[in-house]
Structure 1
Amino acid sequence: MVPPSRSLEDFTDLVSLAEVNQRDDPQTYARLRGRWGEVAPVELVPGIPVWLVMGYQEIIQVSRDERLFSRDSRHWRYLGKLQGSGSPLALMMTPQEHSHFADGEKHRRLRAPLDDGLEGLDEHRTSRATQAICLGLIAKFADRREADLVTEYAALVPMLAVASWFGIGTDDAGRLMEAMASLFVPGQDPRPGMEIMQQILSGLILAHQEDPVDDLTTALLRHPNYHDASEVTQAIVQLLAAGQEATVAWIAQTLRLILADSHLGGRLRGGRLGVEEALDEVLWRRPPAANIANRYALADCEIAGTRIRKGDALAVSYAAANTDPRVHGDDPWLEIGNRAHLAWGAGPHVCPAQRPSRTIVRIAVETVLTRLHDLRLAVPAEEISTAPSISTVCPAGLPVRFTGFS
């Protein structure tokens, strides 16, 4: 257990958050719990420590209490050091003018248009568009009878699908995806990527102002909560960025577990488990957004016996919470249909796009399983590595073979 009087600066030789994700092993959290309790010191990047909150109830406490824990990283005493480190994470954690970084009344004002707009999405139209995207991607590799289901499929479906909500075409969606990816390449100047994003989104906003159509861009432009087009642009960036990495990971992790885990794959093929239930099992066992550093202490406080100082950053570990022995049993059958996991977050910042994201992932997984015949891994399961990330757990690649398609 962490002595209550010790601060983050007192610890050395800490495991990095990226290493925790890379291991993708529930036992990693068990070992951290055994050493530190429900709150463990870890490194975000070398020389920049954060608290990793692992307990289910403790994460709910942190996520719900806006009086003590802010989403605005300007309250973090290490923000300046991170910005000067050259780490690509600096751009990700520098506050922007959208609801992700806001608290209280400002958050509620900026969040309401997202909730209203996403609630108004036509589910049938979303399903048809996603199905067409999935089939179009499969058509590009179907004749080869082999593919990488991460780089050629899972990494592409979410951006193309979410872009369609806003009326963004396939070509511009591809350019946006490349531009966003370029922002987080170590040593690469992010300005060209930001200019491409600004060009595409400015054109999108202008076109919708001149000729409104029935889509999410128009819904956001018409919402009274937004003061100007800049706030609409920020909201679009937020949805495109927030949904991409985690949704890619959810698709890829589900396909990996179905193909590599005889327990899950056997139950699915045997009809004892549906795709919807399989998606929930993945959210319990391997939540895509495993560890998210996005809370900052507004005052000295205590969590599970650990003293937190004002200005400390906290990373909430949804992966650890879902294995918390106080809430998670040993019998996997008891979890079927149980959606009490924290994969979507908790509190005011709970994910606003749960329903459409689930639709995208379900269709992406079902399309692969039903259209590719005799689908199997092309390499031993133990050779599948995890892509480097401080937040998501996603296979770096998923090479497969199949005998035909329909």
Structure 2
Amino acid sequence: MTTPKTGCPLEKLTDLTPLSATTTCADPAAAYQRLRTDWGGPVAAVELEPGVPAWLVMGYRELRAVVRNEQHYSRNSKNWRLLAEGHIGAGSGLAPIMSPRDNAYFSDGATHRRLRGPLVDGLAGLSEHRMARDVGETCDLLIDRLPADGPIDLVAQYAAQVPMLTVAGLFGIAPDLGDRLQACVIALFGSGEDSAERFREMETILTGVINEHRTAPAEDLTTAFLNHPGHRDDGEVLASMLLMLGAGWETLQVWIAQTLRIMLTDPRFDGKVRGGHLGIDDALDDVLWRDPPMANQPTRWTLTDTVVGDQRIARGDALILGLAAANRDSWAGADKRVDSGNRAHLAFGVGPHACPAQRVARLIARTAVETALHRLPDARLAVPAAEIRLRPSPWTRGPAELLINATRTVC
């Protein structure tokens, strides 16, 4: 391991731990602790893909300080030195998720507030009562379609389908296009060889949806985005749709799947959430603390030479927000999590860029988990818990599949 705190430029560091080592391992807490030990503190250099380094911020206080300071830490990847110098090719698996876009995620200050407006207003215009009803009907429909014999995959056949159908419906996107978009999002967050190609496919699909809604407006988020004064052109509408569909889909399906996983494997919840003192929201919060869907969030770029967690950070360096690691920091109140109702976790972010869809996301996730527990009361894992595979991604951490045996009740 390269000696930390040397002042050596980030791109000169070698033998770095891949960021994906924190999301694909059996014990992420141990992986983050090794990085803390190796680098002598809450900020460590990691490798995003071969030859592309970044700083991983793992401290609760350090992370909050970074995200609240737009004057020194930008969300706009045009400030990324490696990108500006041509080190990130168009075919890089990182390009789709870290290259600059004209949406709220990749902007700062007044531009960020303008582009965040359509998201906030669009979400505020949704009826939570109607959404809860629609999500519940979707969940029941999916469970009715589960096979009567043989193992059921609660990820592919349920947890991934609930947000796909729900979010696609909010934008007026047909279910068949939703299936294609889901495959694109999986590739996007995998940051692998097919990531760039799948992202282009996603852009093509959504451009078609935008064109259709210009011709035939409807009561959905696509039309609301097109009519919102915060969007200056269809390119910004497309970028906002990519943001909401990508981030919303990925994190929701992981949150649902991880909550169902602990219900089936964690003795603290087995039999308790279904009638004990810990409720569904407690289980959802436990996941947000221990295994947040977005374990490592991209990215902030430094606008000046600075110091974070005793590490010297150069202008243009990339800072990855280690949300899962920061949640485990003693400063986060880790000893007061579930039983006290503590929600000081960083799973939804903090500061100007905090997720605007927290209430909607919880409504969807709670309904999905609650319905599954009600309709599959005798669900049991079909494989040993240790054999549950994780989907490869440096950003999110969730099961690739969750095979169960269960008898479904009649709705």
TM-score normalised by L of structure 1: 0.93
* Alignment-derived partner of residue 372 in structure 2: 368
- 1:336-355 CA deviation, whole Å, 9 max, x = no partner? 41111000011111111111
Compare 245-254 and 208-217 and name the one that shifted more.
208-217
Pairing 1:6-405 to 2, within 5 Å after superposition: 6-23=8-25, 24-36=27-39, 37-79=41-83, 83-84=88-89, 86-144=91-149, 146-181=151-186, 186-188=192-194, 190-191=196-197, 194-195=200-201, 197-198=203-204, 200-330=205-335, 332-334=337-339, 336-405=340-409
Q: Contact 1:40 / 1:52 at 8 angstroms: preserved in 2?
A: yes
**Cα deviation, residue 288, structure 1:** 0.8
Residue identity in the other structure for 2:320: A
The change in CA–CA distance for 1:189 and 1:71 in structure 2 (over 3 A counts) is closer
Residue identity in the other structure for 1:38: P
How far apart are the structure 2 equivalents of 1:209 and 1:33? 51
How far apart are the structure 2 equivalents of 1:77 and 1:196? 27
- Aligned residues: CA RMSD: 2.2
- 1:227-257 CA deviation, whole Å, 9 max, x = no partner? 1233222211210011121111111111111
The change in CA–CA distance for 1:371 and 1:52 in structure 2 (over 3 A counts) is same
**Cα deviation, residue 2, structure 1:** 3.4
How far apart are the structure 2 equivalents of 1:192 and 1:228? 23
How many residue pairs were aligned? 404
Q: Contact 2:96 / 2:195 at 8 angstroms: preserved in 1?
A: no
How far apart are the structure 2 equivalents of 1:171 and 1:326? 46
Compare 73-82 and 248-257 and name the one that shifted more.
73-82
**Cα deviation, residue 6, structure 1:** 3.6
**Cα deviation, residue 160, structure 1:** 1.4
How far apart are the structure 2 equivalents of 1:297 and 1:345? 18
**Cα deviation, residue 181, structure 1:** 4.3
**Cα deviation, residue 32, structure 1:** 2.0
How far apart are the structure 2 equivalents of 1:192 and 1:91? 9
How far apart are the structure 2 equivalents of 1:63 and 1:278? 27
How far apart are the structure 2 equivalents of 1:295 and 1:281? 27
SS in 2 for 1:137: helix
The change in CA–CA distance for 1:177 and 1:385 in structure 2 (over 3 A counts) is closer
Runs of 5+ unmatched residues, structure 2: none
Q: Contact 1:145 / 1:403 at 8 angstroms: preserved in 2?
A: no
How far apart are the structure 2 equivalents of 1:204 and 1:114? 18
**Cα deviation, residue 398, structure 1:** 0.6
Q: Contact 2:61 / 2:331 at 8 angstroms: preserved in 1?
A: no
- 1:113-162 CA deviation, whole Å, 9 max, x = no partner? 11111111111221122122222222222422531111221122212111
Residue identity in the other structure for 1:393: R
How far apart are the structure 2 equivalents of 1:16 and 1:400? 32
The change in CA–CA distance for 1:187 and 1:15 in structure 2 (over 3 A counts) is closer
Compare 142-151 and 38-47 and name the one that shifted more.
142-151
